[in-house]
Chains A and B, each alone.
Chain A
């Protein structure tokens, strides 16, 4: 079974600065998807970015980028030019690449609570 570990329960960053959230995972599969989700106080789960393991290039979405190290099984999220609206709980998640049954499930880390200081 796959596991996802987020070793930083809480992080803080100054507005306009850069912060990196860590995520490691354990899997025996060679192909899979990785996600970062944001959960603001509204409780809504918002997809921030995703990475396909078979792609070498790190995914980027505006101020959000990932550092995907497949051999190290590491998937960190970098937030540049942090804004007050980035304050939220961030979850790293894993999904198998295969089809059928339990391959579709998301396995989540325990989350990192990000505070943005003005």
Chain B
């Protein structure tokens, strides 16, 4: 089944404790992206990657890092989480060509709470 998977789905942590949220897609998509969703704000793009080793900042990159060492994986790293990063996070991938051109496929989400 074509899908985007995220782990963990739920995470409660404390301020300053480094964490990684993994994202993997099995559709051979070149483009991947991370978003955070906060009430009343919709989804805001954190980082995106056009291909392996190519990443760029979205609208709210502060406090986050990403890496793209292989096409299928795009982990989101919080080196020193803070309470204002408590949010619902979504990973997405996109095929740059073909029938589903320009459509993003979303993972199930990761709910992160930073105490």
Specify whether A and B are partners: no
Interface residues of A (CB under 8 A from B): none
